[in-house]
Structure 1
Amino acid sequence: MYQTILTEVDAGVGIITLNCAERHNAFDDVLIGELTQAIAAMTQDAAVRVIVLSSSGKSFCAGADLNWMRRAANYSDAENLRDARALAEMLRCLAQCPKPTIARVQGPAYAGGVGLVACCDIAIAVFDAQFSLPEVRIGIVPATISPYVISAIGKRHAHRYMLTAERFSAAVAYRIGLVHELVADEAALDNAIGEIVEDLLKNAPDASAECKSLITAVANKPLTPDIIEDTAQRITRLRASTEGREGMRAFLEKRKPHWAANETF
């Protein structure tokens, strides 16, 4: 179905794998389009409750593909804008996906690869992964990924790593908030992600989507009367929802709610 990615759905988990190992899973227009399609399809698929973004080979994602960059050097402004909008839309689809998303970072992530990591809700990386935002070294800026990277690492760290374009280690990525956990190797990576997936599948699907919406609504916002009223309205609505009522009944009856009936606690 796809040329540059692999997809599968198993036991509630949708896995999207960047599958261009020979070019370090670097972006081009085809990969961007296919990744956008896959994210949208899994967002609409009721069988998918968690999405894992993975990669084949040694690299997670090396940013823009060199051949694509060579073609882009001769593009008109209109063609460059078309490509930029396509990349921005793919990142938006990933960042605003209502389902929990996990980045499985088994190797280096540069430029747009860092953007993919930042767009995911949760990111786990191996100890020897490296990261870089090298755009200024080739006369451009990390524009389309900037909202997500700055949200993940903060303005202060963005000043350093976007301006220096230096490579930084997984330990630094962990310290500045780009990744949540570091593990020794790919086996440990899969185990760590499996544990997180197990936790996520215990949760109500609609409530998980509502929780993502809540975080977006209140993060870095001043505590105004409108924010306070919005949070009150949200919990009122969810208490009366089908999931809210089922979750409360299950808690009081000391049983699993229906969405976790097949999960082990």
Structure 2
Amino acid sequence: MNDLPHCETLLLKLDAGVLHVTLDRPDSRNAMSLAMVGELRAVLAAVNQDRNVRALVLRGAGGHFCAGGDIKDMAGARARGGDAYRELNRAFGALLEEAQQVPQVLIAVLEGAVLGGGFGLACVSDIAIASTTARFGLPETSLGIVPAQIAPFVVKRIGLTQARRLALSATRFDGLEALRLGLVHFSEPDAELEQRLQQVLEQVRQCAPGANATTKALLLASEDEPLDALLDRAAGLFADAVLGSEGVEGTTAFVQKRRPKWAR
């Protein structure tokens, strides 16, 4: 795979095709600094075309996922004026776009504080596993600011009605409520988070990495692309997949009653 960037705010561990990315600023509950945003974007770029990396697991150190934006960064930007704030904010939006589009399966493990920007990262994950005791919220309006970059991703994740309620009241809620809202897919007691993660990773490993990447892109395109054009393009993708190496291996394995190579 491409060399991973050196990181000061992230811990990186590649294990059996899974890149574990840990936000590592525990003293600030992993608040999202501009440096962390840059390092996350660099990691995503490094693995983008690498099919040997099957999944990314994103979590936080010290019992918290991410408490939102770094107030120190905001204070530093204040001295440089409005353009600095726009650049700081938009950089995080670019991260959310890139995280949502990354070809690998993005799995978020959500513990402790999942606030503001952390909430946004949860919304762009493919599979989200939350502790029942995690604390979710959009606190921006209670600070006199707006959830500018994360708002569109929150709406797409849980719908406009619920997004309005949560953003306009700064309501805090736990992992069970996050499950009810459809923000996360699993809500587990702390002692069972790792077991659930391993189950999810085992399921992901049953799927061909190229087919997963194409399927993810197709699903995301369904939000915006006209249906007729999308179905025409999807037919071509299907034909390419059937005739490609993964399709041949997968269908052959099925006939031979064995596991395909990528699932071994």
TM range (shorter): over 0.9
Q: Give the aligned partner of residue 232 of structure 1.
A: 235
Of 8, 11, 17, the match for 2:16: 11
Of 50, 57, 61, the match for 2:62: 57
1:1-150 aligned within 5 A: 1-150=6-155
1:150-229 aligned within 5 A: 150-185=155-190, 187-219=191-223, 224-229=227-232
Q: How many angstroms does 1:203 deviate by?
A: 0.9
Q: Is the 8 A contact 1:106 1:189 kept in 2?
A: no
Describe the shift of the 1:240–1:50 C-alpha distance in structure 2 as closer, same or farther (beyond 3 A): same
* Contiguous gaps of at least 5 residues in structure 1: none
SS of 2:57's equivalent?
strand
Amino acid at match of 1:70: A
SS of 1:117's equivalent?
helix
Q: How many angstroms does 1:221 deviate by?
A: 6.6
Q: How many angstroms does 1:139 deviate by?
A: 2.4
Q: How many angstroms does 1:48 deviate by?
A: 1.3
Q: How many angstroms does 1:258 deviate by?
A: 1.8
Of 235, 251, 255, the match for 2:254: 251
Q: How many angstroms does 1:45 deviate by?
A: 3.7
Once residues 178 and 106 of structure 1 are traced to their aligned partners in structure 2, the CA distance between those partners, rounded to angstroms, is: 14
SS of 1:245's equivalent?
helix
CA deviation string 1:194-251 (max 9, x = no partner): 11001101110100001101111224777x4333323323222221222112111111
Once residues 134 and 8 of structure 1 are traced to their aligned partners in structure 2, the CA distance between those partners, rounded to angstroms, is: 31
Once residues 159 and 127 of structure 2 are traced to their aligned partners in structure 1, the CA distance between those partners, rounded to angstroms, is: 16
Amino acid at match of 2:84: E
Describe the shift of the 1:227–1:40 C-alpha distance in structure 2 as closer, same or farther (beyond 3 A): closer
Once residues 253 and 63 of structure 2 are traced to their aligned partners in structure 1, the CA distance between those partners, rounded to angstroms, is: 45
Once residues 23 and 167 of structure 2 are traced to their aligned partners in structure 1, the CA distance between those partners, rounded to angstroms, is: 25
* Contiguous gaps of at least 5 residues in structure 2: 1-5
Once residues 85 and 71 of structure 2 are traced to their aligned partners in structure 1, the CA distance between those partners, rounded to angstroms, is: 15
Once residues 16 and 115 of structure 2 are traced to their aligned partners in structure 1, the CA distance between those partners, rounded to angstroms, is: 31
Once residues 204 and 126 of structure 2 are traced to their aligned partners in structure 1, the CA distance between those partners, rounded to angstroms, is: 12
Q: How many angstroms does 1:27 deviate by?
A: 0.9
Q: What TM-score do you get using the length of structure 2 for normalisation?
A: 0.93
Q: How many angstroms does 1:26 deviate by?
A: 0.1
CA RMSD of aligned residues (A): 1.6
Once residues 181 and 121 of structure 2 are traced to their aligned partners in structure 1, the CA distance between those partners, rounded to angstroms, is: 16
CA deviation string 1:59-108 (max 9, x = no partner): 21000122112212323222222212221121111111010010011212
Identity of aligned residues (%): 37
Once residues 46 and 259 of structure 1 are traced to their aligned partners in structure 2, the CA distance between those partners, rounded to angstroms, is: 11
**Greater shift in the superposed pair: 190-199 or 134-143:** 134-143
Describe the shift of the 1:137–1:53 C-alpha distance in structure 2 as closer, same or farther (beyond 3 A): same
Q: How many angstroms does 1:136 deviate by?
A: 1.5
**Greater shift in the superposed pair: 111-120 or 35-44:** 35-44
Once residues 106 and 45 of structure 1 are traced to their aligned partners in structure 2, the CA distance between those partners, rounded to angstroms, is: 28
Once residues 172 and 153 of structure 1 are traced to their aligned partners in structure 2, the CA distance between those partners, rounded to angstroms, is: 12
Aligned residues: 259
Once residues 228 and 163 of structure 2 are traced to their aligned partners in structure 1, the CA distance between those partners, rounded to angstroms, is: 31
Amino acid at match of 1:249: T
Amino acid at match of 1:233: G
Q: What TM-score do you get using the length of structure 1 for normalisation?
A: 0.92
Amino acid at match of 2:54: R
Q: How many angstroms does 1:21 deviate by?
A: 0.5
